[in-house]
Structure 1
């Protein structure tokens, strides 16, 4: 009888841990998706003197690839009957791309503030 109760408690803990993992992963993927979208918006407003057009094109392609990877990851998670995690090896390029978006935002911000009338 004690084993059955312990088994139910263990299953409940595993279910709770799985739900927490799913929530954390969904939130993380939402963040990546947000920054990839923001990067595309920044590129549209980016002047040539901040980033040359060829470089903007390459970054836009990487942002689109990142969004596709996020969509594929969401599909895999949805299709799985078990909680899933994403390895750091997979996420490292995404994180690097988000860092590039932040750097672009900073460049655009400093360009705008230097052009502001005094």
Structure 2
């Protein structure tokens, strides 16, 4: 019976590559929202700081994707790097959810 466990390289390609793509997707959506609308639930300073954090994280993810591809999909990313990205995505989801609810109530 063949070994059903993927080798580390396959695991990285199967899990890490789509994860990085997901981060880029959600950061792009957050950036679009934060640049296109004035989120009155946040102070202007809070909105600007959140946008800057999103842009910085997008650059970090882009760098990680480039390194991953350049190294033949053989390099992983420490969870200490992934966790803040995940937390930022969750924060952006919350802002977006609250903003949609606010606009719906006002609409």
TM bracket, shorter-chain basis: 0.7 to 0.9
Distance 1:66 1:55 in 2: 16
Instruction: Measure, in 2, the Cα distance between the counterparts of 1:76 and 1:24.
Output: 16
| Higher normalized contact order (CA 8 Å, seq sep 6+, divided by chain length) | 1
Q: What's the CA shift string for 1:39-79, capped at 9, x where partnerless? A: 11111243352212111111111111111101111121122
Cα deviations across residues 66-109 of structure 1 (Å, max 9, x unaligned)? 11101111121122146222111011110111011101111111
Residue in 1 that maps onto 2:97: 106
Larger Cα Rg: Structure 1 or Structure 2? Answer: 1
Structure 1's 24 and 82: CA in aligned 2 closer, same or farther, altered over 3 A? closer
Report which of the two has the higher share of helix: 1
2: CA distance, partners of 1:81 / 1:41: 31
Q: Select 1:64's aligned residue among 34, 55, 63.
A: 55
Q: How far apart are 1:37 and its partner, in Å?
A: 0.5
**In the alignment, which residue of structure 2 is the partner of 1:41?**
32
Match of 2:9 in 1: 18
Any unmatched runs of 5+ in structure 2?
Answer: none
Structure 1, gaps ≥5 residues long: 1-8
How far apart, CA to CA, are the structure 1 residues paired with 2:102 and 2:36? 12
Q: How many residues align?
A: 104
Alignment of 1:48-87 (within 5 A): 48-81=39-72, 83-87=74-78
The residue aligned with 2:82 is 91
Q: Which region of structure 1 is more displaced relative to structure 2, 19-28 or 61-70?
A: 19-28
